[in-house]
C-alpha cells in the first residue's frame, strides 16, 4: 500500500514574527496537508464545525493580508486513503466546532496536531503552538487578536452559505407548515359543511 506524506503548512499571522521568531515565539496558523487538500480550523459563533479545506498554501483563501505562508513541514506518512482521510477529518471536525474555538485550549494548531497524531502518530512541533502556552500568562491576549486571526476568509464564506441555507430551509419549513395548516382548515370546514348538510337532511326527513 502506498504511503502518503502528512505535511503541515505553517503561516505567519503577524508581520513582527520575523523579529520575534528567533526567540521561539510567534503567531502562527497551521493546516494539515494530505494528498491534494489542506485542512484547517477557525472560530465562529455557530454550533457547527469550524473545519474547512483549501488548496495547499492558498494564502488568498485564508486572507492574504493576514496569513503569509512560511514553510511546509513533513510530519510523517499515512496509509489511509484520500477518502478515509476526509472521513477522519470530518469526524474530528465534530469535536472542533466554531463556537468552541479558544486560543489556549482549542485553536487551529490543536486541530492540526490532533489530525497529525491520528494519521501518522506524530504531533506538530511545539513552537507552532507556543503562543497558546504563553497566553496562559497573558489572559487578555485573545481579546486583542483581530477577528481575521480566528476566522479565515474561506471559513467566513462557508458560514454565510450555511446560514443562508438554514434560512432558506426555515422559510420553506414555515411555508410548508402554513400550507398544511390551510389544508387542515379547509378539510375541517368541508367536514363541518358535510355535517351541517347531513343534519339538515335528517331534520327534513323527520318532519316528513
**C-alpha torsion angle, residues 33, 38, 44, 48 (rounded to 10):** -90
20 in Cβ contact with 98 (< 8 Å): no
pLDDT at position 85: 98
Mean pLDDT of all residues in 109-137: 88
Q: pTM of the predicted model, to two decimals?
A: 0.71
**176 vs 50, more confident:** 50
69: part of which helix (H) or strand (E)? Answer: strand 68-78
At 101, which CATH number?
Answer: 3.90.1720.30
**153 vs 6, more confident:** 6
CA-to-CA separations, 64 to 59, 68, 178, in angstroms, rounded: 5, 6, 46
User: Residue 48 burial by CB count (10 A; 0-12/13-18/19+): exposed, middle or buried?
Assistant: middle
Specify whether 144 is catalytic.
no
Q: Decide if 185 is inside a domain.
A: no
Number of domains in the chain: 1
Sheet of 4-12, strands arranged across = 51-54, 37-41, 28-34, 4-12, 68-78
Q: Of the listed 14, 29, 110, 120, which one is catalytic? A: 29
CA-to-CA separations, 202 to 67, 190, 206, 208, in angstroms, rounded: 83, 18, 6, 10
pLDDT greater than 60 at residue 187: yes
pLDDT confidence tier of residue 207, bands split at 50, 70 and 90: very low
Query: What domain range is 118 assigned to?
Result: 4-164
Query: Which residues, listed in sequence order, are joined to residue 9 by a DSSP beta bridge?
Result: 31, 72
Counting residues of the chain whose pLDDT is more than 70, the rounded percentage is 63
pLDDT at position 112: 98
For the CA atoms of the chain, what is the radius of gyration? 28
132 in Cβ contact with 17 (< 8 Å): no
Q: Decide if 36 is inside a domain.
A: yes
**4 vs 105, more confident:** 4
Q: Decide if 49 is inside a domain.
A: yes
Specify whether 105 is catalytic.
no
Mark out the alpha helices in the chain (DSSP H runs).
Answer: 17-20, 59-62, 82-93, 108-120, 130-134, 141-144, 147-150, 153-207
pLDDT greater than 80 at residue 88: yes
User: 180, 186, 159, 177: which is closest to 44 by C-alpha?
Assistant: 159
Q: Decide if 173 is inside a domain.
A: no
Q: Decide if 55 is inside a domain.
A: yes
Q: Of the listed 108, 110, 116, 120, which one is catalytic? A: 108
Q: Decide if 208 is inside a domain.
A: no
Q: At what angle do helices 108-120 and 82-93 cross, to 10 degrees?
A: 140
pLDDT greater than 80 at residue 133: no
Amino acid at each position: 500500500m502506498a504511503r502518503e506524506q502528512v505535511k503541515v503548512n505553517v503561516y505567519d499571522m503577524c508581520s513582527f514574527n520575523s523579529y520575534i521568531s528567533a526567540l521561539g515565539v510567534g503567531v502562527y496558523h497551521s493546516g494539515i496537508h494530505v494528498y491534494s487538500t489542506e485542512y484547517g480550523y477557525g472560530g465562529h459563533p455557530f454550533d457547527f464545525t469550524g473545519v474547512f479545506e483549501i488548496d495547499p498554501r492558498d494564502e488568498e483563501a485564508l486572507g492574504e493580508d493576514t496569513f503569509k505562508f512560511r514553510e511546509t513541514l513533513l510530519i510523517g506518512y499515512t496509509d489511509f486513503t484520500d477518502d478515509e482521510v476526509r472521513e477522519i477529518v470530518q469526524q474530528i471536525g465534530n469535536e472542533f466546532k466554531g463556537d468552541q474555538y479558544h486560543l489556549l485550549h482549542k485553536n487551529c494548531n490543536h486541530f492540526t496536531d490532533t489530525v497529525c497524531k491520528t494519521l501518522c502518530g506524530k504531533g506538530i512541533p511545539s513552537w507552532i503552538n507556543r503562543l497558546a502556552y504563553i497566553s496562559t500568562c497573558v489572559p487578555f491576549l485573545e481579546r486583542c487578536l483581530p477577528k481575521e486571526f480566528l476566522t479565515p476568509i474561506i471559513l467566513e464564506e462557508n458560514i454565510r452559505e450555511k446560514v443562508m441555507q438554514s434560512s432558506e430551509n426555515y422559510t420553506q419549513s414555515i411555508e410548508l407548515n402554513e400550507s398544511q395548516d390551510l389544508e387542515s382548515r379547509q378539510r375541517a370546514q368541508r367536514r363541518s359543511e358535510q355535517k351541517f348538510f347531513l343534519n339538515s337532511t335528517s331534520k327534513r326527513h323527520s318532519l316528513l
